[in-house]
């Protein structure tokens, strides 16, 4: 089982991501898709946070499963921020489409840090998990501060 886990992490680290230009029939579909991926990602990420903050008992097996979902989902939303998907019923600021390079870099950092979170979750070491969780959470915050309206 440990080898299977390691191989999965290797697959993620090797960069199995979706193409940047994906096929959405309508802008509304892209917005719904990215909102749904953030929603699922956030729930699993928050569960890890509840453990690292001591709000629920640490369970390394559950943390690893949550980290697997987080790392897999973090790769999805980038493909749904194409041109023309700046809709008023979303939290995306228009700066996203004016600063595409910085936005993409922040997304890539999120992918890198959530992949690292998954690697660390494998160790079952709560102190290391706390640090990796904090680093991943910082990539959320940095991007939200710059590109999410409230």
Binding site for its own copies (CB under 8 A): 1, 3-5, 7-8, 10-11, 14, 16, 18-19, 23, 29, 32-33, 35-37, 39-40, 43, 47, 50, 56, 62, 65, 68-69, 72-73, 76
Our CB check for its own copies shows the closer of 25 and 98 to be 25
Our CB check for its own copies shows the closer of 35 and 95 to be 35
Our CB check for its own copies shows the closer of 37 and 139 to be 37
CB of 15 to its own copies, least distance (A): 10
CB of 148 to its own copies, least distance (A): 18
CB of 86 to its own copies, least distance (A): 20
Our CB check for its own copies shows the closer of 76 and 129 to be 76
CB of 102 to its own copies, least distance (A): 26
Q: Half-sphere exposure of residue 1, counting CA atoms within 13 Å on the CB side?
A: 3
Our CB check for its own copies shows the closer of 8 and 135 to be 8
Angle, vertex CA 131, rays to CA 107 and CA 141, nearest 5:
35
Residue 45: exposed, middle, or buried by beta-carbon count in 10 A (0-12, 13-18, 19+)?
A: buried
Residue 148, classed as helix, strand or coil, is strand
Distance CA 113, CA 129 (A): 12
User: E strands, the chain, where?
Assistant: none
Token look-up 């199995």 returns 16
CB of 8 to its own copies, least distance (A): 4
Facing residues of 92 across strands?
148
Distance CA 87, CA 46 (A): 27
């Amino acid at each position: 089982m440990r080898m299977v886990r390691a191989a999965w992490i290797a697959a993620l680290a090797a960069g199995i991501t979706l193409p940047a230009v994906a096929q959405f029939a309508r802008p509304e579909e892209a917005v719904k898709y990215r909102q749904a991926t953030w929603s699922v990602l956030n729930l699993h990420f928050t569960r890890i946070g509840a453990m690292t903050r001591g709000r629920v008992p640490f369970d390394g097996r559950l943390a690893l499963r949550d980290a697997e979902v987080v790392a897999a989902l973090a790769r999805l939303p980038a493909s749904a921020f194409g041109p023309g998907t700046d809709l008023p019923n979303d939290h995306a600021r228009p700066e996203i489409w004016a600063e595409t390079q910085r936005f993409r870099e922040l997304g890539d950092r999120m992918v890198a840090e959530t992949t690292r979170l998954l690697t660390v979750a494998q160790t079952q070491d709560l102190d290391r998990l706390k640090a990796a969780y904090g680093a991943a959470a910082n990539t959320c915050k940095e991007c939200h501060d710059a590109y999410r309206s409230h």
